[in-house]
Amino acid sequence: MAYSDRELLARIIKCEAGGEGDTGMRAVATVIMNRVDVPNGEYQRVCQGVLRYVIFQPGQFDCVATTIRGRPNSQNIFNVEPEPIHFEIADWALGGGRVNQVGECLWYMNPFRPNCPNPFPYNGNGIHHTRINQHCFFRPASSYADT
């Protein structure tokens, strides 16, 4: 079954940030939409402004993988059922809503520790920007434009 962009976004919001509260889920949605809208770099080149390409770009979101490190990943967007809040946040993001605190961040991660790494990704293209709940958010370094 092919999901609409709205349903895909709702599913990835629930899977990636369902336990992060309203602000945390909106922050993750902001990063995803920032990748759709970025004017340069890898995400613009590979994803061409298409939400589906952003979500399914290989290696970007654990919630898209059906296996991780050779083991089944039961918590993925195909197995989660979005609730009304996830559709509300997806509609907000698709309508242009963004969390100002996230700014132009293109990456987030849960370090499972008190401190956020810098840089992230580890290729040096992202610089730590802020933390919201358990997720660290990273804005692009100037080197990102050349990726």
The CATH code that applies to domain 5-146 is: 1.10.10.2520
Token digits for 11?
A: 């599913």
Q: What is the pLDDT of residue 81?
A: 94
What is the mean pLDDT for each group of 10 consecutive residues in the chain (147 residues)?
90 96 98 97 94 94 91 90 97 97 96 90 92 96 91
Query: Residue 104 in 3-state DSSP?
Result: coil
- Quote helix, strand, coil % in the chain, to nearest 5: 45, 15, 40
Q: What is the pLDDT of residue 119?
A: 87
Per-residue b or e along 135-147, where b marks 16 or more CB atoms closer than 10 Å to that residue's CB: bbbbbbeeebeee
Is the pTM higher than 0.85? The answer reads yes
Q: What is the pLDDT of residue 1?
A: 52
Q: What is the pLDDT of residue 2?
A: 79
